[in-house]
Structure 1
Amino acid sequence: MLDRISSLFSKEKSPLANIKSATQWCKNLDMVDPATRSAKVHGIVSDFVAGNQAVTFDSLQALMLIDEHVQEAFDAVRYQYVSNPRMSKEIEQKLWKDIVTYSHDMVDAYQRFVQAESNEALQKQFAPLMPVVLARSLRYLSIQAKWHYFRFERVPPKIWTAAHQLYRLSEIGGFDSNPFSLYPAISEEISSCADEYIQMLMLNTLANNNLSVRQIDMVDFWLEKWSKLIQISRKYMEDRHHFCVNLQESQGAQKINPELMGEPYRYWGLNDLVNQVQEILGRLMTGASYASLDLGPDARGPAVSELLKHLDVFWTMSMRNSQVKRSERTKVTKAADIIHGLDRICGFIKEDNDKFMRQGREAKDQIDYDEIMDMRLYGFVSSRTKQKSAAASNPYVVNKKQTDWQTWAIDNESNGGFGAILRFSENEWIRPNVLLGMRLSNSENWQIGVLRRIARLNDDEISAGIQILTSTPVMVGMHSEQNDRIENMTVTELGFTGGLELPNVKTALYVPHQIDGKSVNTLIMHSADYGLDKIYQIRARDKRFSVSLGLVLEKGVDWIWVAVNVLRQEN
């Protein structure tokens, strides 16, 4: 401790005195493990920040040298956190604090030189190094923000304030987009102040997506390259821009609306970024390896493909909804039953449809399709089908268990949907653009909605926004003789066909919809069943149609919503 205090007053003993002292100190640093190396650098940086030493060109060069030399060790410490999701709470807390405080103190150390640049005597000396100083500071701010996302925490406003100020300084200096290597001794990767800033902003757009630590880290790695596809603009262009940021506010990316215009705002679009994600997905579908796509050493397996699909869906919908204003919300206290997964939703919707069809009829006068299928398959009617038919004969009997759905507390409602409060520990599956079935009571039909917004309120509480697509969905059976998706179907699933006696019948949801004030026919189906060249035979209740698939209205990770053109109605 006395040595550290003495070093504050002894320029010769400080590694930050000049390049020579820093170089010699770094040689001795290589003899210890990565965690110790990071801790030692953190110690001298903390001393520098706390001390009153005058900043000089020599000390800036020394700081930049040591910062570059410790990068591999600091990367190893961060990787230890990301790659070890089952570490004890005590280890997690220590690692989290070490990484965040290290990044914070590095920003403060560089900030001393940024602030000193107002001194005309130092300005000319610091100017050549200032682009790298600002870009490195932005990267350390981004690391702090990312570690808050790992805990589903809101990024402290002062981090955004600092990031906006540093980027604005790069604009004033006229070097915001100038390319250079951030740590040339470690990597030849080219960056800029704008690249570091947009990477931080784009990761912020995913902050409420309920991604895991590994997923957030992987996306951040990709954004290091993809950020170069995005250009920040001072002038808003309606057909190109989807997000904005206010350099005078302490928050990150925002959706654009007419009120967010003027000098403090900067704008950017997602077209090139989404095209890049879709190109990668297309190459994966044609058999390209993960290694050939430069997605990182840990990028392999179907989980990576699913994450890319999620990014494609989320950012595509962000483009479409960038100027959509939310309806006014009304505070309520209600509860709703929630189901998810297209196949399960189809099963519950079919029950609703059957109730409607059977009301007013006597069960003994009906010809049950499921019983016919049992007789053809087995020669007798199974007990499972008998139980199902008995329950369906009374439209007010629910033959599902309470455990087949979850209950969410509805906190608010608007013209287009609902806001819910739920526990994360009971709903770890939630993601934006997940398809949901929802009903407010047992006496009501299931409605179809999409999970649009997620915000973490605390460790185990989440706020979710649900948009209702329709309150009157219809389950339909679909068959195409071209390029059928091969799948094994159970007897229960055959009951979903609505009467189609076909070898491979798929299920979908008919959703009435309006486009530009005109009513259109639409289907929500499995993504694997979509194809522009496909003609489907559709059975909806007691009607049959031949339809072709048209405009894609929206897509999720495993579902797609398309308009359909009715070619003919069949007898």
Structure 2
Amino acid sequence: MKNIIQQIFGSALIKKTHAQFAWVDDLAEMDDIAALKYCYQQLAIIIAQMQAEQDVDYKVLLELLIQLEDVNYTRLEKLSCQFVQVENLKPELEINISEACYNYCRQSYIAHLKVIEKVINPNKFKLDGNMPVIILGRAIYSAMQMMKWRMFTQASPPTKMWIQLFMLYRIASQQALLNIPIELFKLSPSTSLSAYFVQMCMLGQLTQSNLHKQQVDIAYRVLTHWLTRAHISKHFTPEQYLFFVDLEKDFPAKRMRNFEPNEQCRYWELDELEKQIKVGVTVSDRGEIPESLLGAKIESVKRLNDTLSIMLAEWTKTNYVRQRRKEPRQATSKTAKVNAGIINICNQVQQANQISSGLRLSKDGKSFDERLRSHTALTQLSNITINSGSLDTWIVTDESLHGLGTRVNKYANILARPDKLIGLMMDEDPSQIMIGIIRGVKPTTNNQLKVGIEIMSRHPNWVQLRQLRNEELFAETVSFVANKEQPANFDIGLFSGIYLPIEAGLSSISTLILPKLNYKPNTSYAVSISGTPKRAILGEPIESCDDWIKVAFPF
């Protein structure tokens, strides 16, 4: 890329660039996050200079942007892989990585827009060769990275981002640049501006599908490897096209439904992509990754299969089923203490059960026996209290038999992630606790998130378990497991779980939710529920995610 710039602008410019932006050389000595933060700060200074209409050499700045993106391309790829592959990142690290990557991409995108505004007009500024295609493509790339990182954290893209993208499309269309083959980075798939445009619009369309971060990353990689050519049309032919954008509106691609075309609409077909996705689903069903995706760095075949199935359901031309609620919800307004993490939820259920059974708790949420034992126990049994500051307060806005709708502040809450197991203790009745799974997270106005929760149980029970040794008699174990006077901390084999009974409309079998770390399938366990002992052989998990598993338990 540097050779291209040198051929266009001359070797004198390269020397000038090196002198003016020598700080770029310092990036090699920094770690990835620190380097992106430093680039963000330097780009902010440059953007401020452009906005103040100070004397800026846009040829030099163009060289800087291209050089920075070449240097940081690998960094962004590395951080993206780390971010999505690690299941339980510490909240501080998750925020640090996502904000550093997003802010850098955001500043790079703004800088591109400023430069394009000055240099893209061929009557005022002459760019030779493929440079107009390259700078437009790099701008779209920055926008797509920016949106991807927003989707990772369930956040909305910046206001007017789609209007700005459509402006870039208009420029490319006017200068007949849309279908010129382009390879933006070394070893990246050869594509075109029209394909980049459609890739971004279709990724944006998936924001309504509540993908978790691994699925967002896979969808991005599938699009960049499979959708490398696209024809964008002004003409409305409903039998041919399925998706469209309106260049005057700040929205991504929409499916044509109750649609009235106008001259600002643009259309494209996805027939070839749909065929590839169908083949991909079939291949991944066999436990294999399609050969055409081997270079896409997709690690999990199961996640690939799940993501392709979602993409196919959303984008299929036939048999499309619009997602709707299974049942109406009743509006309400109440608050609940919400917790995540299987150990924390077990403690929360134990406390709610104690309150329900009439056990008086102290102000810190402990019974008299627990406070008495705390004088001798090495570790307290429970760290969850009625007014615990470690719990998040969510507002329940609507509910039905099977689910809840809640509203939370997106900046104050780190629990709102799809497929997250949570416990909800209602403030109006601390004995009432529900176990649920987050199924949908959508950004709304005023920095709020609308969180949809599928209820697993309204009557969970705290249980204790212990794996039985082959030579151990059950009668000997029961007395130990059922002994409430003995702190659980004194036996490392004793652990807590949650019993979910059969509930009309919610579940047809009784199950246990257990810590993944403590569970061994097809093993005998002694289980104590409300003081009632039972021996059971627990089989393979029927559901598993994060730090928990769910297993059938006939009781």
1:239 paired residue number: none
> Which of the two has higher C-alpha Rg?
1
Residues 153 and 385 of structure 1: is their aligned pair in 2 closer, same or farther, counting only changes over 3 Å? closer
Q: Displacement of 1:66 after TM fit?
A: 7.7
User: In structure 2, the residue corresponding to 1:433 is in which secondary structure?
Assistant: coil
Instruction: Give the SS at the match of 2:348.
Output: helix
**Residues 438, 69 of structure 1: alpha-carbon distance in 2 compared, 3 angstrom cutoff:** closer
Aligned match for 1:511, one of 497, 500, 505: 500
Cα displacement (A) at 1:436: 1.6
Aligned counterpart in structure 2 of residue 422 of structure 1, from 408, 419, 426: 408
CA deviation map 1:381-413 (0-9, x unaligned): 98138999xxxxxxxxxx944126443233333
Kindly report which structure 2 residues correspond to 1:285-434, keeping only aligned pairs within 5 A, or say none: 324-326=323-325, 328-353=328-353, 383-384=372-373, 400-403=385-388, 405-424=391-410, 426-434=412-420
Identify which of 134, 137, 152 aligns with 1:135: 137
Report the Cα distance in structure 2 between the residues aligned to 1:503 and 1:85, rounded to whole angstroms: 34
Task: Classify 1:191/1:138 alpha carbon distance in 2 versus 1 (closer, same or farther; 3 Å).
Answer: farther
Question: Residue in 2 aligned with 1:31?
Answer: 19
> Which secondary structure does the structure 2 equivalent of 1:402 belong to?
coil
Amino acid at match of 2:464: G
Asked if the contact 1:450/1:467 (under 8 Å) is kept, the reply is yes
TM-score (norm 2): 0.55
Deviation, structure 1 residue 338: 2.1
User: In the alignment, which residue of structure 2 is the partner of 1:72?
Assistant: 67
Shift of 1:110: 7.9
From the superposition, tell whether residues 506 and 201 of structure 1 become closer, same or farther in structure 2 (CA, over 3 Å). farther
Give yes or no for the alignment of 1:190 onto 2:172: no
Kindly tell me: are residues 526 and 314 of structure 1, through their superposed partners in 2, closer, same or farther at Cα, counting changes over 3 Å?
Answer: farther
Query: In the alignment, what sits opposite 1:527?
Result: 516
1:15-60 Cα shifts (integer Å, max 9, x gaps) = x9995545543342122225799879979x979x9xxxxxxxxxxx
Q: 1:434 to 1:331 in 2, by over 3 A?
A: same
Contact 1:447–1:471 (CA under 8 A) maintained in structure 2: yes
Q: Verify: 1:439 aligned to 2:421, yes or no.
A: no
**2:20 is matched by which residue type in structure 1?**
V
Q: Secondary structure at the match of 2:418?
A: coil
Cα separation, partners in 2 of 1:154 and 1:424, compared to 1, 3 Å: closer
Q: Which amino acid in the other structure matches residue 349 of structure 1?
A: V
Alignment of 1:263-282 (within 5 A): 264=267
Which residue of structure 1 lines up, in the alignment, with residue 89 of structure 2? none
Partner residue of 2:536 out of 546, 549, 552: 546
- Which secondary structure does the structure 2 equivalent of 1:524 belong to? strand
State the one-letter code of the partner of 2:338.
I
The offset of 1:93, in angstroms, is 13
TM-score normalised by length of structure 1: 0.53
Aligned positions, number: 447
Report if aligned partners of 1:134, 1:166 keep a CA contact under 8 Å in 2: yes
Q: Percent identity?
A: 15
> Cα deviation per residue 1:148-193 (whole Å; 9 max; x = unaligned)?
779986325643356579789999x99999975314xxx3433534
CA contact (8 A) 1:104 1:140 kept: no
Query: Gapped runs of 5+ residues in structure 1?
Result: 1-15, 50-61, 117-121, 235-243, 280-292, 296-304, 362-369, 375-380, 389-398, 484-490
CA-CA distance at 1:72 after TM superposition: 2.4
Please state how far the C-alpha of 1:147 moved relative to its aligned partner: 8.0
**In the TM superposition, what are the counterparts of 1:170-181 in structure 2 within 5 Å?**
181=183
SS at match of 2:396: strand
The separation in 2 between residues aligned to 1:458 and 1:472, in whole angstroms, is 34
Instruction: Name the structure 2 match of 1:247.
Output: 245
For 1:424 and 1:325, how far apart are their aligned partners in 2? 24
| Distance (Å, rounded) in 1 between the aligned partners of 2:546 and 2:250 | 33
Cα distance in 2 for partners of 1:316, 1:527 equals 27
Change (3 A) 1:18 1:550: closer
Measured in 1, the distance between the counterparts of 2:468 and 2:103 equals: 60
Q: Secondary structure at the match of 1:343?
A: helix
Give the structure 2 partner of residue 103 of structure 1: 112
1:420 maps to amino acid: T
Structure-2 change in CA distance of 1:492 and 1:546 (3 Å):
closer
1:452 aligns with 2:439: yes
Name the CA distance, whole Å, in 1 between partners of 2:354 and 2:95: 46
Q: Quick one: distance in 2 between partners of 1:313 and 1:526?
A: 26
Distance in 1, Cα, partners of 2:456 & 2:519: 20
Give CA-to-partner distance per residue, 1:311-335, whole Å, 9 cap, x none. 8999699679976423545543222
Partner Cα separation in structure 1 for residue 226 and residue 495 of structure 2: 40
The question of whether the paired residues in 1 share the 8 Å contact of 2:457 and 2:503 is answered with no
Tell me, in whole angstroms, the C-alpha distance in 2 between the residues paired with 1:496 and 1:456: 47
Could you list the runs of 5+ residues in structure 2 that have no partner in the other structure? 26-41, 80-92, 231-241, 288-294, 315-321, 360-366, 378-383, 471-479
Asked if the contact 1:511/1:521 (under 8 Å) is kept, the reply is: yes
What is the CA distance between 1:139 and its match in structure 2? 1.0
Q: Please, what is the CA RMSD of the aligned residues?
A: 6.9
The residue correspondences of 1:80-159 to structure 2 (distance < 5 A) are: 99-106=108-115, 108=117, 112=121, 135-143=137-145, 145=147, 154-156=156-158, 158-159=160-161
Relative to structure 1, the CA distance from residue 498 to residue 110 in structure 2 (aligned partners, 3 Å threshold; closer, same or farther) is farther
1:469 to 434, 449, 456: 456
* Alpha-carbon distance, 1:556 to partner: 3.0
- Deviation of 1:544 after TM superposition, in Å, equals 1.8
Alignment of 1:220-239 (within 5 A): 227-228=223-224, 231=227
Question: 1:461 and 1:153 mapped to 2: Cα distance?
Answer: 9
Q: Is the 8 A contact 1:179 1:190 kept in 2?
A: no
Partner SS for 1:508 = strand
Structure 2 equivalent of residue 56 of structure 1: none
Kindly indicate whether the alpha-carbon contact (under 8 Å) linking 1:148 and 1:155 is maintained by their aligned counterparts in 2.
yes
Opposite residue 136 of structure 1, the aligned amino acid is R
